[in-house]
Structure 1
């Protein structure tokens, strides 16, 4: 199999540390290596490096090659502009099909924390078997461990298929807490990891069936790819094809997993680093009579007094002060400020 690391997102939910010029996948969030570097190095332990590809926006080409100097141009797939994961998947499939290569692809985000790489490889192999045997689409479904409102959920039929996969019934977008509590109590519901295993020809068939205008424009773009790609809709692969597909399965994954897409996720990964009052501190930070805060200060001394359950982030790009309970609104508010010309990111 080949693995395609998707590394083109903006990472607005980690503003102001993650900004458009250097989003979260290019930042060192959980160790001294960036998320992209960590993902690549882990994958290189389970498949030959020449089987690992990166798809990203032209905007980030230099950053990718700077952080992964071992990555040659043949393993770098470039989107002219950012158009979400739907067009990204279509472009990746077209890249391999034009090389007459229909080997199974694992498409996965660049910013996930999955420490048990051997368990991940085992899951990939099972998914590959299913994808090759029946031209199916296989997602990895994470067995939920808490009522999470920042993740999407996958509802399955419960009847087990070969390799333990389950047929997908529906997708559930980020729920409110009450709904999340109900979902995690059900044995056939999983978090949507965003990891998909399928063949390029399967992607092509799904796109041709469910997104004919997008697929047609892309396949006929020729030398006009930049102009055509910019005209494609911004649509996730879930909305584009997965939610419409009738050959979609989820393979349960029961090991530690975290989507590093929010300050809360960073807190969970670094909970062992918390001080005696439960504060996660980074930089020249001094917290007094404060508890359960996430405080990140880049390049300046910061004093926090009497704060509880806050996210406080100070970088050259801006300052964020947000109650943890309101973090889910951060992405939409950042987008709103950008549209208003506020200069965020």
Structure 2
């Protein structure tokens, strides 16, 4: 078990939960569902069976103080700093290379920070992740988690699998498609041999680095030639080399190109906290389907959404209205425009 590691990807600056999530304080460092931040909850979930000493946090340099504040028991080795945001392919590559230097036999799991796992599924989550670790440890395969696909959504990646099974819960992935078109998603769903991509990856370090060297060779070279972390010029070299890596996601940069991918069929449910429509589904609800986080009063109102980090928001005879108050911003919009907040943020930047 000591050669099993987990990397939490905590470096993003998503715009879809603005104004609650901001560039200075993104969602992973906020308490959006309960009394723990997303980072704290993810760490705690993994520490229960991976062990805290083998967990690494991949994070942008500017957010390192937030990680140290929220997980004060971590040592320096546990925080892997990205000098700039270049998406998941370079950040995962850096983490894997640094872990393998310490442990050449490492089996590594990659976990998003913004997944909410309801407590009733914690046991199933652990069981499925351990299945992935066990399979990856004994095979030269990259293992991901396949979630049940319930609609032809274009918000998720798809794993098209071969009908036969490798084991009871593990399927050979035939095609890995990152966020396909509506037509392709419908075709996949009608074929009844697909999962949604769960965004979790487990592999032996040497298997992943072999694939990286083949498909993202410049990224591999630039990060592989970095000096030891303890050396005086590590961070200056990292800043230079990291900025030259091939920018992009692990999905398009690597996973779509591989033929050694397996999927564990998930027995747990997870919520990807990527927008307020999804997030607010975890908040308090009243009999009129109003959703609330903070202090709100709903008078003759229905299907409204409220978030307030201070003060009280009062809805009077409102139908499907959203009010989000965070620090100096108050956003008001119809509920059917809730998914456009990233565009609203861009329009308000600098104003």
Q: How many residues align?
A: 337
* 2:253 is equivalent to residue 240 of structure 1: yes
Q: 1:186 to 1:172 in 2, by over 3 A?
A: farther
Query: Matches of 1:36 and 1:91 in 2, distance apart?
Result: 20
What corresponds to 2:59 in structure 1? 56
Q: 1:304 to 1:186 in 2, by over 3 A?
A: farther
* 2:267 is equivalent to residue 262 of structure 1: no
What corresponds to 2:239 in structure 1? 226
What corresponds to 2:287 in structure 1? 276
What corresponds to 2:21 in structure 1? 18
Moved over 6 A (4+): none
* 2:304 is equivalent to residue 304 of structure 1: no
Structure-1-length-normalised TM-score: 0.89
* 2:332 is equivalent to residue 342 of structure 1: no
Correspondences of 1:62-101 after superposition (within 5 Å): 62-101=65-104
What corresponds to 2:159 in structure 1? 154
What corresponds to 1:316 in structure 2? 327
Q: 1:21 to 1:152 in 2, by over 3 A?
A: same
Structure-2-length-normalised TM-score: 0.88
CA contact (8 A) 2:156 2:178 kept: no
Query: Matches of 2:339 and 2:170 in 1, distance apart?
Result: 31
Query: Matches of 1:52 and 1:122 in 2, distance apart?
Result: 18
Query: Matches of 1:304 and 1:10 in 2, distance apart?
Result: 30
SS of the residue 2:247 aligns to: coil
1:108 to 102, 105, 111: 111
CA contact (8 A) 1:152 1:175 kept: no
Q: 1:102 to 1:57 in 2, by over 3 A?
A: farther
1:110 to partner: Cα distance: 1.2
For structure 2, the 5+ residue unaligned runs are 228-233
Q: 1:42 to 1:284 in 2, by over 3 A?
A: same
Aligned Cα root-mean-square deviation (Å): 2.3
1:146 to partner: Cα distance: 5.1
1:186 to partner: Cα distance: 4.8
What corresponds to 2:176 in structure 1? 170
1:318 to partner: Cα distance: 2.3
1:325 to partner: Cα distance: 3.5
Q: Which moved more, 1:162-171 or 1:276-285?
A: 162-171
Query: Matches of 2:23 and 2:79 in 1, distance apart?
Result: 20
Query: Matches of 2:187 and 2:302 in 1, distance apart?
Result: 30
Q: Deviations over 1:46-76 (max 9, x none)?
A: 2221122211111111100100112111211
Correspondences of 1:176-215 after superposition (within 5 Å): 176=182, 184=189, 186-215=191-220
Q: 1:193 to 1:225 in 2, by over 3 A?
A: same
SS of the residue 2:102 aligns to: coil
For structure 1, the 5+ residue unaligned runs are none
SS of the residue 1:13 aligns to: coil
SS of the residue 1:232 aligns to: coil
1:23 to partner: Cα distance: 0.6
